[in-house]
Chain A
């Protein structure tokens, strides 16, 4: 985050949601020194394509900044001769990683990814993958499945798909529901929603790209009585569809979805009305009991749930903009290979799966963190 030399701050990173650039100028009270802040302009892979400074030139009818670094990269990260202007003081480059052009690896830049050092000259890691056993089909030195336009490796441990993590198949999938409309998921990403059945008929079976590389199919996602489809995001539909394609299941039934604190207060009140307070308290843990203490005041129960932390009251509670939780039935909805489905959806990044085969859960309980913009 910062570099000091002899107790003097000489460099500090500028951060937003990720690194935006570096600040190298020393400040003096009452003055602003221009040119000391350098900002990165990066692409979807994190490659630093240009660096501009805050030294803005103003004229009567124009404004321009100073570009101190410009780099075009070959796919595997080597800077192109003649298409690069390097300011040696800016050391971040390919994938946004720190380059080392004067160290033990020689004059050509190598990049430090944390777990390993990468050489763009040969397009290989210089040491074996610490997670090599998880990728038995690949050499332990291979960089991002030899596909650096689509995959990145943020830590040097394992590749991440920049489109959707761990998507393996290329598919165009029509997601059928009991709605009057359909959704299309192309290559793991929801692309079109709200299309009429008539609009989507006839598109199943067509090849859209590269002939043999693509396949198209259709899947059914059914919703049981306890499920609220409005709490299932397009991203979650994409993840479910991917797992269905990967596991050979063309149909599933979602039995329940995430609850709001208001839903939870209503359910707890219904339980008290049906079974009495003593029995209901017996079934809940200490956090649930604190909510029940506010019964029958539902707004107070909701406040208590939010104060305690919704997920501590019930595993079915949460903020649908941050996480989706769906219970997939292990046999309803014509699912043909539920165990394979549970295994496949569990490899998506961040997804947690409980099932009757690995826990005390009655269904395939899937927690899917939502992509944050």
Chain B
């Protein structure tokens, strides 16, 4: 019984713990190798392509929040993040796959 409870608690803890490695997010992200990058993520900021302005972001569990001057603009649900690919879902349930530009 104790073993079963331990497994249950561990499984619950694992499922709620953030799986996002923020280091993997840092880089230039593009929809495909042929297209312009959409944005560049650095440690604290996100910079959109051909736009001088810097936006900030927050990550809580699997949610990436885009912020401009303290105002929440939008949330993206991160479905998959590896060192070279990112799949996330917009608030209107559109899923986008992005590739890190090397």
Using CB atoms and an 8 Å cutoff, list the residues of chain A in contact with chain B.
226, 256, 267, 271, 282-288, 314, 316, 330-332, 355-360, 362
Contacts and interface: CB of A to CB of B under 8 A. Distances in A.
A357 B36 contact: no
17 contacts: A282-B101, A283-B49, A285-B34, A285-B36, A286-B34, A314-B50, A330-B68, A331-B71, A331-B73, A332-B68, A359-B90, A359-B94, A362-B39, A362-B48, A362-B51, A362-B66, A362-B68
Contact of B73 (A286, A288, A356, A358): A356
Nearest to B55: A362
A340 B94 CA distance: 18
A360 B38 contact: yes
B98 interface: yes
Nearest to B31: A360
A246 B2 CA distance: 61
A286 B33 CA distance: 8
Contacts of A332: 68
Contacts of B66: 356, 362
Interface string B36-65: 111110000000111100010000000000
B21 interface: no
Given A314-B50, A359-B96, A283 B71 contact: no
Given A285-B34, A288-B36, A358 B98 contact: no
B98 A283 contact: no
B30 A358 contact: no
Given A284-B36, A285-B35, A362-B55, A356 B74 contact: yes
Contacts of A285: 30, 32-36
B36 A360 contact: no
A140 B40 CA distance: 49
Contacts of A330: 68, 73-74
Contacts of B96: 359-360
A357 B94 CA distance: 9
Nearest to B49: A283
Of B32, B38, B49, B66, chain A has the most CB atoms within 10 Å of the CB of B49
A355 B36 CA distance: 18
B46 to A, nearest CB: 8
Contacts of B49: 283
Contacts of B35: 285
A286 B94 CA distance: 26
A288 B37 CA distance: 11
B99 to A, nearest CB: 12
A354 to B, nearest CB: 10
A355 B73 CA distance: 10
B101 A283 contact: yes
A253 to B, nearest CB: 12
Q: Which 9 A-B pairs have the closest CB atoms?
A: A356-B74, A285-B35, A358-B92, A357-B91, A331-B71, A360-B38, A362-B48, A285-B36, A286-B34
Contacts of A356: 66, 73-74, 90
Contacts of B50: 267, 271, 314, 316
Given A284-B36, A362-B66, 10 more contacts: A267-B50, A283-B28, A288-B36, A314-B36, A314-B50, A358-B90, A358-B91, A358-B92, A362-B48, A362-B68
